[in-house]
Amino acid sequence: MENIHYGRNPGGRIILYNVALLNHLVSVGGDVTDRSHQQAIAQWLADRPENQPQTRGRKRAH
């Protein structure tokens, strides 16, 4: 599934693979609809930086 198992760099010329999810997909026999694989996808999406809660307040000065 594009943007889950693989994606492209911003220029679109290079394909980037999600090795962890592809290995999990192989372990469930290639069944994308497998419940444990769907849970692995959900966990991967939840761990993405853009899905993390925003902290309130000002950024710290370095």
User: Model confidence over 7-50: pLDDT tens digits?
Assistant: 988 888 899 999 999 999 999 999 999 999 999 999 988 988 78
Amino acid 18 reads N
Q: Note the pLDDT of residue 23.
A: 94
Neighbouring CB atoms inside 10 A of 18's CB total 17
Whole-prediction pTM: 0.71
Confidence of residue 58 (pLDDT cuts 50, 70, 90): confident
Is the predicted pLDDT of residue 61 greater than 90, yes or no?
no
